[in-house]
Chains A and B, each alone.
Chain A
Amino acid sequence: DAKTTQPNSMESNEEEPVHLPCNHSTISGTDYIHWYRQLPSQGPEYVIHGLTSNVNNRMASLAIAEDRKSSTLILHRATLRDAAVYYCILRDGLNFGNEKLTFGTGTRLTIIP
C-alpha cells in the first residue's frame, strides 16, 4: 500500500479554519485519497474522499495538489467537537472489493477555545 505522511499534531483556535496536510508522494494513478477521523472514545468516521478534483461536503473540503502527491483537509470553521485524530488513507480504486484500510499515525488536532 502506498504510504502517507502527516504531522503528528496540530493546534487551531476555535472558529478558525484548519488545514490538515498529507503527503503521499508514491500515490498511484488509481489511488483515491480518503480521510477519516476518530473522536475521543469513538470508532473512526469517514470524512471525505477524492481522486483528482477538489471535493466539498458538509463536514469538510479536500484540496488535492495538481501532481496528487499531497492533499489538504480543510475544516472551514473548527469547533471543539472537531478535536480528533485525522487519518489520511489511500485506497486503490481498481480494487474496490478490498475493504482494508491502512491507517497511519494520523494528526491529533487540538482545538483551543
Chain B
Amino acid sequence: KAGVTQTPRYLIKTRGQQVTLSCSPISGHRSVSWYQQTPGQGLQFLFEYFSETQRNKGNFPGRFSGRQFSNSRSEMNVSTLELGDSALYLCASSELTGRDQYFGPGTRLLVL
C-alpha cells in the first residue's frame, strides 16, 4: 500500500496570505488527523476528520480549518497567515482500531 502523501512538501508564503495543504491517506483509512510541529511548541493536534465530519478539534484559532472529501482525502486551510504559522504540518491516517496511526512526511510552511 502507498503511504500517506502530502502536497506540497514545501511552501513559502507571506503574512496575510492564505494556504491550502493536501493529504491523501492510506487506501482504506477513513480517519485523517492534522498536526502542527514547531520547535517551540512541539507536535500539537489540530483536528481530525472521519467520513467528511470533523470529530475532534485542537486549541487553534478559527483561521485554521479543514475538510475531508468522500474519498477520505483531506485539506487544511490557514487564512491570514502569521509569522508564527511557520511550521511543519503533518497529516496522519488510521483505520480507527485505536492502534497505530500512519504519518505523512509533512508540509513545511515558511511565512515571511
Q: Is the CB of B56 within 8 A of A100?
A: yes
Per the bound structure, the CA–CA distance linking A104 and B44 in Å amounts to 9
Residues of B within 8 A of A96 (CB): 96-98
Q: Is the CB of B31 within 8 A of A99?
A: yes
Residues of B within 8 A of A68 (CB): none
Q: Is the CB of A91 within 8 A of B42?
A: no
Q: Is the CB of B101 within 8 A of A103?
A: no
Interface-forming stretch among B60-68, B70-78, B102-110? B102-110
How far is the CB of B79 from the nearest CB of chain A, in Å?
23
How far is the CB of B87 from the nearest CB of chain A, in Å?
13
Question: Is residue A113 contacting chain B, with contact meaning CB distance below 8 A?
Answer: no
Q: Is the CB of B33 within 8 A of A100?
A: yes
State which residues 12-61 of B face A: CB under 8 Å.
31, 33, 35, 42-45, 48, 50, 55-56, 58
How many chain B residues touch A (CB < 8 A): the figure is 27
Q: Is the CB of B90 within 8 A of A44?
A: yes
Q: Is the interface of A mostly helix, strand, loop or mixed?
A: loop
Q: Is the interface of B mostly helix, strand, loop or mixed?
A: strand
Per the bound structure, the CA–CA distance linking A46 and B102 in Å amounts to 7
Q: Is the CB of A100 within 8 A of B58?
A: yes
Residues of B within 8 A of A49 (CB): 99-100
Residues of B within 8 A of A45 (CB): 102-103
Residue-wise, chain A 31-42 has the 8 Å CB interface mask toward B (1 for contact) of 010100000011
Please judge, given known A-B contacts A43-B90, A93-B98, whether A105 and B42 are in contact too, CB under 8 Å: yes
Residue-wise, chain A 74-110 has the 8 Å CB interface mask toward B (1 for contact) of 0000000000000100010100111111111110000
Per the bound structure, the CA–CA distance linking A91 and B100 in Å amounts to 11
Q: Is the CB of B106 within 8 A of A97?
A: no
Q: Is the CB of B43 within 8 A of A103?
A: yes
Apart from A46-B101, A97-B55, 6 more pairs, CB < 8 Å? A42-B106, A43-B4, A44-B43, A98-B56, A100-B56, A102-B45
Please list the residues of chain B having a beta carbon within 8 angstroms of any beta carbon in chain A.
4, 31, 33, 35, 42-45, 48, 50, 55-56, 58, 90, 92, 94, 96-106
Please list the residues of chain A having a beta carbon within 8 angstroms of any beta carbon in chain B.
32, 34, 41-46, 49, 87, 91, 93, 96-106
